Amino acid sequence: MKQINIAVIGTGWCGGIRTETARRNALVKDIHIAETNEIRLKEMALLVDAKTATTDYKELLKIADIDAVIISATPETTHYPIARDALLAGKHVFLEKPIALELHEADELIAIARKSKLKFTIGYSQRFNPKFAYVKKSIKDGAIGQPVSVLVSRHITRSLGKKIVGRVKLSPAAMECTHDLDFVFWCLEPAKPVKVYSQVNYGAMRESTGADIPDTQWMTVTMDNGLSFVVGGGWSLPPGYPNFSTTWIEFIGRDGALLVDDSHKDVVLNTVNKGMQLPMSTMPGEQVDHVFAGPMASETIHFIEAVALDRDVLVTAEQARQVMEVYMAADISAETGNPVTLPLVPALVELKAAAGGSR
């Protein structure tokens, strides 16, 4: 059995999940980690018996026998430079979404990976959610016939939303709805998006943060086969179970319909001390003794197996770039009040940059 050596850059919430998952995998020999928070670095190094633990990720890229790098660093502005350095160092790369903040950055990363024949995938973990995978299967095997209508609605708590907007100015489309754009495009392949219209709504987030941050964002996306779908979401649910996420999916086809409730209300813990809680309701999932409840562990294992066993990755960087272009178009549409056609032209991208990236 061939074993590989993995480096994880950024071992916070998601990076910690991926580090522990990799450590438990029989295909992984050594774990190397980089983390700027020295307290967290020491904690994780001890937990996973890291061969290398450093605050400078570039030190890991100098280690020749590291085969692959998982990049879970924040803020999102670090994604492009770290991924670029890792790919240029000849490492296979798993990168949390977004792939980059600018399309030319994404294009450069894709070009480097192609030239060096490296595996390069982006963290769209919801493809590894069994309910979402079942939708894809039902479309692929024709169970509901040709899709004619699609709706996905996702919402998270405002406490988690504040953490996200506190580190980078990206819209709900870029940070939350991005998972569902990827999911719908995956289900509708080979159709491509050609037009986007979007609106945002304000409320609790702007009032509580004092910043120009929308509560929700809704998008209508038109595909080149004529189908239009709606994806929306936000981050202003009242505080509750930590990092709670709720999603509703409707796929209507010519021969049937598929309705998916991923609201995480199937397990309720109600105690005198803490009141009502909804365990296992976060998007990444959480450890429950000997098992991991959620898609992130499966996604991490998939990447490890792709590297160790030379398999294709499920999420390609090209697909992630397509999602990025669509949510950028959505932000431009919300800013201007007009539909935006794809592909994006440089003048519109410059308009988005001049507007500060998002509303």
Which positions of the chain have pLDDT values less than 50?
357-359
Shortest CA distance to 30 belongs to which of 82, 54, 65? 65
Domain boundary among 55, 84, 118: 118
Whether residue 268 is contained in a domain is answered as: yes
Is residue 36 located within the same domain as residue 174? Answer: no
In a domain, 313, yes or no: no
Signed CA dihedral, 289, 291, 295, 297: sign only: positive
Residue 19 falls within a domain, yes or no?
yes
Which pLDDT score is estimated for 160?
A: 87
Q: Which domain holds residue 185?
A: 127-294+320-341
Cα 300 from chain centre: 13
| CATH number for the domain that contains residue 25 | 3.40.50.720
Task: Count CB atoms within 10 A of the CB of residue 218.
Answer: 20
The pLDDT value given to residue 347? 56
Cα separation of 359 and 357, whole Å? 7
Please say whether the beta carbons of 245 and 237 come within 8 A. no
pLDDT of the residue at 245: 93
State residue 84's pLDDT score. 98
261 and 138 belong to one structural domain: yes
Which CATH number is 276's domain given? 3.30.360.10
22, 109: one domain: yes
Residue 269, number of CB atoms within 10 A of its CB: 12
Total domains in the chain come to 2
Q: Is residue 303 part of a domain?
A: no
Residue 226 in any domain: the answer is yes
Cα–Cα distance, 42 to 227 (Å, whole number)? 51
- Could you tell me whether strands 245-253 and 147-157 are parallel, antiparallel, or unpaired per DSSP bridges? antiparallel
Grouping H, G, I as helix, E, B as strand and the rest as coil, residue 5 is: strand
- pTM, to two decimals: 0.94
The secondary structure of residue 74, as a DSSP letter, is: S
How do residues 149-168 score in pLDDT, each as one tens digit?
999 999 999 988 888 887 77
